[in-house]
Chains A and B, each alone.
Chain A
Amino acid sequence: MDHDSLMFIFLNALLINNLVLALFLGLCPFVGVSSKINTAWPMGLAVIVVMLVASVCAYGINILLVHFEIEYLRLISYIAVIASAVQLVEMTIKKFSPTLFRLLGIYLPLITTNCAILGMALFQTFDEYSFTQSLAYSLGAGGGFMLALVLMAGLRERLELANVPDVATSAAIAFMLAGLLSLAFMGFAGLGG
């Protein structure tokens, strides 16, 4: 497959270099929100939306920064954009589904400090993706986050019925599961050819 093609970039972000399971980004919400499928998938959707907005904005900002040769402001401006995008999503969810808003709780505003989103914006800049490539990348990255989150939630719901040793607190066993899931995702490494 052509490494610049949109399909490759999308699949790469979705499966091969999955943000959570291969690059360790966005672990806090991954562990925090993945105990129920009911909260996992809306959280995933929220992240996808923020990713798309952040990706488009980051692309535009980067052009400006390069034009004025002030790349050292990249980090600060990206963070500001992501924070505003999160605010937008937060207000939308609060308006349309107060129940969901309460379920997601503290993790919704914390999407701002979700390293998956800043990581995605930085990676797309470093890899010098074009506009459409950036879109494909952010869609894949967000989708990958959601995929990992929902799979993990499914596993953890099953785990509630299992007999886990006392010392393995919920986080410890969750990381063990994540390790196995990550091992499974390594199987996609050959997909790029």
Chain B
Amino acid sequence: MDVTADRQRLTEALRQVAAGDKAALQRVYDQTSAKLFGICLRILADRSEAEDVLQDVYLTIWRRAGSFDPERGVSPITWLAALARNRAIDRLRASKGHLNRSLDMIAEAPDPTPLASETIERDQAHHQLTTCLGELEPEHAGYIRAAFFDGYTYASLAEAAGAPLGTMKSWVRRALMRLRTCLER
């Protein structure tokens, strides 16, 4: 798969969506819906909810494609993935059906079996991030994962971990700072 060509194709399609081209929205959908649906499904763990959120995500892309600015250097798939994740987490929180997985489960290291890799570029970014997460206290890395994949907030993390809110905040902040430093190495 040619990463640069994919990225250019997606960027161009988003530009056309911003200009009101509905056919371009379908091209964006064809190129990205499996990835974004995977994200919605992972977070919501409910196919019908995930489908509903996915529709909402593409309608949002339709309205907001103009706010994607390729010149800022963020890849279009990152922008879209962040949008899908945010929507799915909003839905999860609204449904109150979340936070039923134990933090211990989440804190477990990910399945070491590599997924069918999307691109070498993504693999490298993932490898670097997991390496940096691995340098944190395991519980702290678990909090980052629980927030990312399961929509935990400071308050729900503190409750789940039985720690004072202020303590949880300082743990997570320190973990984020260490992540940033590690990723910049």
The reply to whether chain A is a binding partner of chain B is no
Interface residues of A (CB under 8 A from B): none
